Structure 1
Amino acid sequence: MFTRHFAHWPKRVPKTLTVPRTPIHHNLAVSAQRYPEKTAIYYYGRRISYQELHAEVEALAGYLQHALGVNPGDRVALYMQNSPQFVAAYYAILRADAVVVPLNPMLVANELPFYFEDSGARVAIVGQELVDRVRPLVEAGAIDKVVVACYRDALPPEPSHRVPDVVAAPRMPLDHPALVPWPQALTSGFAPRPSEATADHLAVIPYTSGTTGVPKGCMHTHRTVQANIVCAVVWNGVTPDGVALATLPFFHVTGMEHSMNAPIYCGNTFAILTRWDRETAAELIEKLHVTHWTNIATMVVDFLANPRIESYDLSSLMVVGGGGATLPKAVGERLKALTGLDYVEGYGLSETIAQTHTNPPDRAKLQCAGIPLFDVDARIVDPETLAELGPGEEGEIVVCGPQVFLGYWNRPEENEKAFVEMDGKRFFRTGDLGRYDEEGYFFIVDRLKRMINASGFKVWPTEVESTLYKHPAVEQACVVGVPDPRRGETVKAFIILKQDHKGKVAEEDIIAWAHEQMAAYKCPREIEFVDSLPMSGSGKILWRVLQEEERKKRQVTST
């Protein structure tokens, strides 16, 4: 068991946690009993109580079972943006003893058939703006029924904040018998059968992003999901009197666990943004006295770039952190100066339903994945030999813990490759390269397959990106390896300039500056200024998309 980090474990936090043996939807039932009139969800000015939310979940679960024939263990697709309806649908699927298959709302029509065919989902709950994308599957008979939600139905008569167009859109008429309006499902009068789900029944199958290959469904039970719900609550000091700001998408495991499931577990209030908006986020922090905000680095960069940010009262914030990509040091220092808080970075994957590592809130290290959490055994091994490595040595991160998934859905061959036995334990091979220091803090070096090999020198893009963020003109950066006839690969950076630097900084200026900051072989040989970068639904920069586009362009040029 890896214990090097125990010397720096938070003093008031136990080193082990007992995971509840109850299903996830039981958490909502308990909070609704404890705090019936307390606000569960704040949505652009509307307050939805725990009692209201629970009643909606019960009604929808009954409809799924009795009207749509959803049976225990059936997979139900949830294809929707952040909204009160997403929360109700998620818990209703679980209350019906079925399995949630959360889908990225950025998926387009020709991508969807894979997920429905792979998961076997025959019923879907969908946001109305996405109906036309599922319509071909409905008409082809690949989906039996679709419950359609209009986000506007969840708004107050007079919203208190700027509302995105997708939320303000009025309810659309539905023109197919397989499409069921959300209100019809809720008023059908069906009561759900008593739940028979146990801790070891499947609960959620999130899909990997597909940035490293074909998306794979990760099988999570109520037990594995509960492990990280309770972990988030205990580690971050979440209480019934706290308020969470939900800006990460709920379909993604980090938003799902930290911004939805953890607040519900302890009767917390959470304010939902359907679309990221830095002004509204600041308004909510000030108005609702937000205490916890789990986000992603790109959100923090934009949040701090708001020229009015210092005019807001952000003093209620107790914990600000996230994962997915390291926060540039300069950005973390700016956040600390503004709020007095260290950015608490963590590390996890879809396969671990979010975090396996997190920084201690009172002893955080910037650009660091943190220390292994409750009952997590993490090691660094040689990717080829699987021999365990020591402090400072770079290798593949492998993890064993209560939140690790059972395996990939219908992927027995992938499962053989995904796990390794060590010391009598089953460790998951993350595919991420990292190292740990003498104190047991882990650092992510990069994805195993993202390394750039430039003339035999290994270049890790995240290291180069982190340096580029220190340049005063750089707002966002993404570094990829591109083909080079002499070096094999060379380093290219795609950069979004800050507004007041556009037209004033040249590519050559950035390259010259970079040569002063890092070894020559790491420096970008090419810079391309862009207005935007491709993003996943969870806010990650899709570096592989840029890399593949560059390789295609160069292949065409060379022929």
Structure 2
Amino acid sequence: MQNSPHYVISFFGIIRAGGVVVNLNPMFKAMELAPIIEKTGINMIIVQDTLCSEFNKVDNAGRIETVIVARFADFLSKQPLFSPPDEVFGTDQPFSGTVDFKDILDEGMPIPVCRIHDMDNDLAMLQLTGGTTGVPKAAMISIRSLTIAVCASMHWFGLTPKETSLGIAPFFHIMGLQVTMIPALFAGGKLVILTRFVPAIIAQAIAEKKCTVWVAAPTMITALVNMPTIEQFDFSSLRVIVTGGSPISITLQQRIKEIAPNSQLGEGYGLTEVLAAGGVVTPLGNWKPGFTGIPIIKENDLRIMDLEGREEEMPCNQKGEIAIKGPTVMNGYWNEPEETKKVMKNGWFYTGDIGLMDEDGYLKIVDRKKELILCSGFNVYPTELENTMLMHPAILEVAVIGIPDDYRGESVKAFVVLKDQFKDELTAEGLINWCKDNMAAYKRPHEVEFTESLPKSGAGKILKRLLKK
């Protein structure tokens, strides 16, 4: 589901009941959901009413024992302050074989339940991340790891019961969950929950609700500051703006300071496998151009290791692979011991990202994982897209790369070799429309280029570096 009160209630309820949360992106289509359900063994799903039709297309949905339908209108005020998106109103139609979310609340037990016994080994989440096979891996996040990360975020940003946090960053994503939703409530503050990013509504929410904390992808900030009517809104309440995923330009920082003069900007670098707080964050008021920040958890150790042997720590200002060790590191990938071995060594998580650290302990990200594409703060994994596109009957071969995009950071471009019988039938527009029906919006190609062949090495591996050139 999208951000909603149902999500917040479900998240804490599942964990306290002794269950494990598997966050599913509400933009996923049936073809993307099916392998995740199979891999993680999901046996209960809480689904937004307007997304039930897509969920019902999943071939293996029958393995799920309980389907709970969340109707967003249940929590909608009779006189909402903002104009809600259409999906909030949902539908009144009954869904056969399902349980209504509100009925569960109405029939709930009055005695609090907490079935957490072992914080180190009891899992809070199986949080989805990229997979070399095209199906996302599921990082095992313990309750202790999540708790430590949440405490760190709360203290780092100085959250108190007086804070009002804007909950627009997606809660199913590690940044929206671990930096926005949980710390806001853990500190005893307020959380303003919005389901959809609409710049005018965001501006109104900040001004009307006097929001003090906003966690946002750089694309969100860019869209807001470039809104024609931006000067009409009062953002003086904003104290902290946290962002990550791609660098914030000096120009954008200056513009933020103009519209939110009392705010301090914090950039960050984290990963699903170590949580957002397990990486680095800018010390408020001590931003350093080109650097993302310093480790914020005392017990976490972050080092730059040599790229070949992964055993020698590199000197200051020398590039290497970023490795992290500490209490926020995942317990491994669910049912994938070989994949876990590839990234874990003596308790260290090797990120695959290239960086350097200066003499003050500030981290600079030099390069992302070789083929990872970063679109609007979301990780897009080429293999997953390629496997999905190969299901199109006209496609013989496909290779996906990231191309520069001033707004989204990167966009997806697909190089496609068509089967002979389809060469005069399929257009780039037609293929993009097919992708719209079969993959989340942030993943699908913005550009398609048809080609007679793809460049390959002697071993038959597609040479994406040549496609990038």
Distance 1:213 1:366, change over 3 A: farther
* Counterpart code for 1:89: S
1:185 alignment partner in structure 2: 104
CA–CA distance in structure 1, aligned partners of residues 246 and 440 of structure 2: 11
1:244-393 correspondence runs (5 A): 244-340=165-261, 341-355=263-277, 356-374=279-297, 375-386=299-310, 387-393=312-318
Supply the distance in 1 between the matched residues of 2:333 and 2:60 (Cα, whole angstroms).
Answer: 29
* Residues 359 and 412 of structure 1, relative CA distance in 2, 3 Å threshold: same
Q: Which residue of 1 aligns with 2:29?
A: 108
Per-residue CA deviation, residues 89-113 of structure 1 (Å, 9 max, x unaligned), is 1111112111111111111012112
Structure 2 counterpart of 1:490: none
Q: How many residues align?
A: 403
Aligned counterpart in structure 1 of residue 410 of structure 2, from 475, 478, 481:
478
Cα distance change on mapping 1:212 and 1:82 into 2, 3 Å: farther
What 5-or-longer segments of structure 1 have no aligned partner?
A: 1-79, 453-460, 470-474, 484-529
Equivalent residue, structure 2, for 1:197 = 116
Distance across 1 between alignment mates of 2:61 and 2:320: 47
Say whether residues 1:397 and 2:316 are aligned partners.
Answer: no
User: 1:38-49 residue pairs with structure 2 within 5 A?
Assistant: none
The alignment partner of 2:303 has SS state of: strand
User: In the alignment, which residue of structure 1 is the partner of 2:160?
Assistant: 239
Return closer, same or farther for 1:208/1:139 CA change in 2, 3 Å cut-off. Answer: closer
Cα separation, 2, equivalents of 1:389 and 1:482 = 36
Do structure 1's residue 554 and structure 2's residue 457 form an aligned pair?
Answer: no
CA 1:130–1:264: 2 relative to 1, 3 Å: same
- TM-score between both structures, scaled by the size of structure 1: 0.67
TM-score (norm 2): 0.79
Partner of residue 428 from structure 1, selected from 349, 353, 361: 349
* Matches of 2:62 and 2:159, distance apart in 1: 45
CA deviations over 1:355-396 (Å, ceiling 9, x no partner): 221000110134432101112211111222212212222221
Give 2:276's aligned amino acid: A
Give how far 1:185 is off: 1.9
- The answer as to whether partners of 1:137 and 1:143 remain within 8 angstroms in 2 is no
Report 1:215-234 matches (<5 A). 215-234=136-155
User: C-alpha root-mean-square deviation of aligned residues, in Å?
Assistant: 3.0
For residue 557 of structure 1, report the CA deviation from its aligned partner.
8.8
Contact 1:335 1:342 in 2 (8 A): no
Match of 1:411 in 2: 336
Match for residue 463 of structure 2?
A: none
3-state DSSP of counterpart to 2:206: helix
The residue type paired with residue 308 of structure 2 is E
**Deviation for aligned residue 1:336:** 2.2
Distance 2:9 2:372 in 1: 42
C-alpha change, 1:275 and 1:390, in structure 2 (3 Å) is: same
- Cα pair distance change 1:193/1:337, threshold 3 Å: closer
Alpha-carbon distance in structure 2 between the residues aligned to 1:354 and 1:538: 23
Q: Aligned runs of 1:28-43 on 2, under 5 Å?
A: none
Q: Secondary structure at the match of 2:56?
A: helix
Per the alignment, do residues 139 and 320 of structure 1 end up closer, same or farther by CA in structure 2, a change over 3 Å counting?
A: closer
Aligned to 1:163: 84
Local SS of the residue matching 1:343: strand
Q: 1:366 to 1:130 in 2, by over 3 A?
A: farther
Change (3 A) 1:183 1:478: closer
Q: Do the aligned partners of 1:253 and 1:353 also contact (CA within 8 Å) in 2?
A: yes
User: Aligned with 1:219: secondary structure?
Assistant: strand
